[in-house]
Structure 1
Amino acid sequence: MHAFLSIFGKLIVRSVLVLFVTNEIRGLLLAGPVLYAMYQAGGTLMAIWLAFCSLAGIALSVIVPLVVAKRLNLAQLRFAGGS
């Protein structure tokens, strides 16, 4: 039973890592059209503001999962060290 849980845990960790990498790539792909639209708009103040808001939203969707993963990893290390 312990071997099954170990293999299952490794599978979950690997799939989560793949999802994080996919999220990073998605963020880079979403940033391109925003920057291009700002360039096409001539760099007006409104275009810069909309680009900033769009890029900040993309950044949050990429950074927040990384912070959560880091915190979960620290929690797992504490449990592993305590037993």
Structure 2
Amino acid sequence: MLGTISSLLGVFLKLGAVALVLNEVRGLVLAVPVLYGMYQAGGTAMAIWLGISSLLGIAASVVVPLVAAKAVQRRLAKPALSAIGQRELRAEP
């Protein structure tokens, strides 16, 4: 049973890594039309402002999942204390 759960968790983590890579590619694909629109507008202040705002939104949609993945990875890396280990810790002065 533990082996099945472990292998399923490994598959889900690999799928998550693939999803993060695809999210990065999506961010690049979304940025190209914004940069082209800024170029076509001639670099006016409004075009630059809208372009920067759009690029920051795209960056946030790419960076937030990366930060969340790191937090989950750190959380999974911490060893959990078992009930027996907790009793032993409480027994020591």
Smaller-chain TM-score bracket: over 0.9
- CA distance in 2 between counterparts of 1:28 and 1:78 reads 34
Which residue type is aligned with residue 76 of structure 1?
L
**Superposition RMSD on alpha carbons, in Å?**
1.2
Superimposed CA distance per residue, residues 24-72 of structure 1 (whole angstroms, 9 cap, x where no aligned partner): 0000011001000000000000000000010000000000000111111
Residue in 2 that maps onto 1:72: 72
TM-score normalised over the length of structure 2: 0.84
Distance 1:34 1:19 in 2: 23
Alignment-derived partner of residue 89 in structure 2: none
| In structure 2, C-alpha distance between the alignment counterparts of 1:68 and 1:79, rounded to whole Å | 19
Higher relative contact order (CA 8 A, sep 6+): 1
2 CA distance for matches of 1:60 and 1:43?
Answer: 23
> Which residue of the partner structure matches residue 9 of structure 1?
9
Q: Offset at 1:79?
A: 3.0
Distance in 2 separating the partners of 1:55 and 1:79 = 39
Letter in 1 for 2:11: L
Please, which runs of 5 or more residues in structure 1 have no aligned partner?
none
Computing the radius of gyration from Cα coordinates, the structure with the larger value is: 2
Q: CA deviation at 1:75?
A: 0.8
Structure 2 match to 1:62? 62
Number of equivalent positions: 82
